Structure formats: structure tokens, C-alpha cells
Amino acid sequence: MSDSVSDCTERRSAVTEAEVEALVRGICFKTGPPRFLGVEVEWLVHELRQPQLPIPPTRLEAAYAALRTLPLRSALTVEPGGQLELSSPPAASLMECIGSVSADLDAVRATLREAGLGLSGYGHDPWNPPNRFLHEPRYDAMERYLDRAGPEGRAMMCSSASVQVCLDAGYEEPGPLGHGRRWWLAHQLGPVLVAAFAHSPVAQGRRTGWRSTRQSLWTAMDPGRSSAPPLGGEPRASWARHVLDAPVMCVRAPDGPWDVPEGMSFRAWTRSATPPDRADLDYHLTTLFPPVRPRGHLELRMIDAQPGDDGWIVPLAVTAALFDDPEAAETAYRTVKPLAERADSLPAPRNPLWRDAARYGLADPELHEAAVACFAAAAEALPRLGATSEVLDAVAEFTDRYVAQGRCPADDLLSQFHGRSLGQSLGRSHGRSHGQLYGKDIRT
């Protein structure tokens, strides 16, 4: 959502359909040994004392102005509804990634605390309706486009938050760390990650019927924008076709509102009398939101924001282990392969497997069984990736608390409904880290 592309650039030479396909093939899967890891953590910003109250825009603007003066290693960006995102630089190890983002988050929280504000890790705002904070041409056009299909797009823009894990595409050659296997695994392991880390069962003070309301939004949105391409073909070719056939969200303009065409694919644009240029292609790529987005590396977008200051570390560690350790990757592949039949050959996230993961979490027996096996493989692999004992303990605690029992963080929120109002329940629990819940600091 916070992809950095200039609002409008001078028009350069137009790109043809064949040039688009060649460019997409070249830039979206950069293969080689998996060496780097990254994470993007999104947060809801809230009042410290009464987190359910909306923050006046002027206070939020002042807080972000103060945050932009901090010497952070991560890129700090703002989402349309005022959510905060930190995007780590590529890290050479799991612990390097955890250490740099944790230090940045400490600095961010200290600055926000001075303003009476804090961060909450919910996959979807449990209190307030969508309310846009950023009023820029990109988001004005995005809102107009998404509103055509229903209210889910606006809720995604303004009310959702996630933990996005970024992994190298992998080797050109086949095998557990080959890019073809990793592309396939990301889509088939995705529902297990959705189910295990679901943390958005509430919206506007009411149960939604989904463990991951955030994932349900992606399922209901415009399929040309939020669906994955078919998995049967070669990844580069499949993604290039997907990019060309995806609808154009908007055509940028130097002045005034941007045009929001209806029913025009990027392929059709290249064949028009006023075809796009390379900058238009770069921008178009940032408006596609599949559950796994190739950006040279693989960006896994299906994990809800997690409870507590350090809850984001567990999905990062587990996902890194299941992809970057060859033994764990092979175990994960064998574990999720039988689940693929439930997808009915439909693209993620609009198939029964992904829908069941979002609705039921680990209460689904097959997803529960797969999660148990995958978390066990990750636990064995993490020492080989250099994880500290604190990180290992955090993964073990999450496994015992949730995975082993067929539960996910959303179940904790649902249980808090009994006997208290939503504001009281969530107001009391916000801000506790997994480290605090389990009696330890898991960051370094």
C-alpha cells in the first residue's frame, strides 16, 4: 500500500505489449541464493489511555512530523487511514532484521508516547469505521476505483494492518530453494499462515464471523487486483500475463484528479492511441495486491498484524525458517501439498482453502494439522538460522498457546467479549508484547 512511486512524471517513450512482458519478467523474479530477509510491519495508531477513540488529524500529523525527524534504519511510511508502517532494509540474517526493526520501533514508540499515542497490532481496526487520513491523488483515485466493487476496498485502505515478510526469490534451478518451488510454496503455505496468525475477528465493535476479517476483505475485493495468477505455469510468464491483464486503477495527471478508467486492462492500454510509458508500468505494478507479490523478491502479504510490541517477530521467524532452511522448506512442501486439492484450482485468495483459513483459523482440522507440522519444522530450523534462545522461546510459547490447541490470536479477542464491553476488553490488553505475556523480552 505504501509503495513509493512519484505522483506524476514526465512522459517518456511508450512501452509496447511485448516490452511490458519482457520488463516484468526481468524485474519481478531476481534469482540467486537466498541471502536477504526483510519485514514490513504495519500498526494502528491510537490514544494511549482510550485506544478506541479516533485521533484528531492535526494530532496525528504532528506525531508523524516528529517521527520523520528520527534517524531510523527502516523506511517509515503512512497508510491511507493513518496506519504506520516500518519497512526494514534487506538484512543478511534473521537476527539482524529483528534487531534493526526492534530498535526503530523503540524509538517510534518513545516519540509517540510523548504525544500520548501508541501502537496496536490488530489485523483490522476493532473500533472505528474506515476514515481516510491521507488525501492525495493516488488514494483519491484508489478509493474511487475500489468503491465500484463495494466497501471492502475502503476498509482495506483505512482499517487494516499486517506483517509482511519479504524473502529472496530463490535459485534459478529447481529444488527446495528454487524460485519455482518457493513461488508455489508461498501460495500453498499462505493459508496456514493466515490461519495461525489470524488476529482480526472484530470490526466496529462487532464480531464479523471471520478469524481474519482483514483477509476476508482481500477475498471480496476486485479479483483482477487482489488475486494471484494461476500456479500451473512458469512463474515469470504467469505473472507477466497477470500484470498485462490486470485492470488499470488510474491514469496519473500533473494537475487535478487522476482519471479512473473502467474496464481497461494494461494490455488494452498498450494497444490504445495513448499508450503507457515505463513509469506508468512501474506505477501499475504498485497497484496490484495479490497475497504474494513478486518485486524482485517475494513479498508475503497474508499475515495479520500481531498483538503486543514484539508479536511480529514470531511470524517473521517461522516464515523465514520454512523458506530459507532447506530441510524445513522440504517439510513444509510435503505438509501443504495435500491441502492444494482444497483450492479447486482456483487462484488465491478466492478458493475454499484460503476462505476457510480466514474464517475458521486453526479450528479447521486440516489447517491445524499442517500448522503443527510446519511450526515443529520451523522450531528445528531456527537454530540453524542463528535465532537466539529468546526467539526460540517465543516461537515455542506461541506454538503451545495457539498452534498446539488449534487456536489463533483472534480467539483471544473473541473470548474477551464475554462479560465486558469491547472497549474495556481491548483497552486493557493493548500494548502487551508476547515478551510481556510470557515474561521475557524476545527481540535480541
Beta strands in 130-249 (DSSP E): 162-168, 202-203, 206-207
Residue 219 exposure: Cα atoms within 13 Å on the Cβ side: 22
Between 13 and 102, the higher pLDDT residue: 102
**Rounded average pLDDT over 98-117:** 98
Cβ–Cβ contacts within 10 Å for residue 249, how many?
24
Cβ pair 91, 38 in contact under 8 A: yes
Beta bridge partners of 42: 85
Phi, psi of 203 (to 5 degrees): -145, 135
pLDDT of residue 128: 95
Dist CA 63 CA 44 (whole Å): 13
Nearest partner of 29 among 242, 188, 265, 343, judged by Cα? 242
pLDDT of residue 418: 59
pLDDT at position 337 over 70: yes
pLDDT at position 441 over 60: no
At residue 31, the 3 state secondary structure works out as coil
417: pLDDT confidence band, cut at 50, 70 and 90? low
With a pLDDT cut of 70, the percent of the chain lying above it is 91
440: pLDDT confidence band, cut at 50, 70 and 90? very low
pLDDT of residue 431: 41
**Rounded average pLDDT over 406-412:** 98
**Rounded average pLDDT over 109-117:** 97
419: pLDDT confidence band, cut at 50, 70 and 90? very low
Dist CA 444 CA 436 (whole Å): 14
pLDDT at position 434 over 70: no
Strands 84-87, 75-78: pairing kind: antiparallel
pLDDT at position 437 over 60: no
**Rounded average pLDDT over 323-336:** 98
10: pLDDT confidence band, cut at 50, 70 and 90? very low
- In which residue are the cell numbers 503451545 written? 400
The alpha helices in 75-162, defined as continuous H runs, are: 94-114, 137-147, 152-159
- Ramachandran class of 344: left when φ > 0, alpha when ψ lies in -120 to 50, beta otherwise: left
With a pLDDT cut of 90, the percent of the chain lying above it is 88
- Give per-residue pLDDT as tens, 212-269: 999 999 999 988 999 999 998 899 999 999 999 999 999 999 988 999 999 999 999 9
pLDDT of residue 377: 98
pLDDT at position 355 over 90: yes
Name the average pLDDT for the chain: 92
Dist CA 354 CA 357 (whole Å): 5
- Give per-residue pLDDT as tens, 118-171: 999 999 999 999 999 999 999 999 999 999 999 999 999 999 999 999 999 999
**Rounded average pLDDT over 28-57:** 94
**In angstroms, what is the C-alpha Rg of the chain?**
21
pTM of the model: 0.92
Peptide bond before 349: cis, by omega within 30 degrees of 0? Answer: yes
Phi, psi of 131 (to 5 degrees): -145, 115
Query: In the structure, how many helices (H) and strands (E) does the chain have?
Result: 19, 9
DSSP 51: T
- Give per-residue pLDDT as tens, 50-63: 999 989 999 999 99
Dist CA 159 CA 218 (whole Å): 13
pLDDT of residue 416: 85
Cβ pair 35, 41 in contact under 8 A: no
Altogether, the residues listed in the chain come to a count of 444
Amino acid at 3: D
Angle between helices 313-324 and 326-336 (to 10 degrees): 90
Task: Find the range with the poorest average confidence among 263-272, 337-346, 352-361, 379-388.
Answer: 337-346
Q: Which three cell numbers, joined as nine digits, stand for 331?
A: 517439510
Q: Is 439 exposed, middle or buried (0-12, 13-18, 19+ CB in 10 A)?
A: exposed
Which 3-state string (H, E, C) describes 313-352?
HHHHHHHHHHHHCHHHHHHHHHHHHHHHHHHCCCCCCCCH
DSSP 233: S
Give, for 438, the enclosing helix (H) or strand (E). helix 434-438
Dist CA 21 CA 122 (whole Å): 38
Helix-strand-coil percent breakdown of the chain, rounded to 5? 50, 15, 40
Dist CA 293 CA 138 (whole Å): 20
**Rounded average pLDDT over 102-123:** 98
pLDDT of residue 180: 96
Q: What angle do CA 429, 432, 433 make, to 5 degrees?
A: 145
pLDDT of residue 233: 87
Q: Which three cell numbers, joined as nine digits, stand for 196?
A: 495461525
Dist CA 319 CA 234 (whole Å): 23
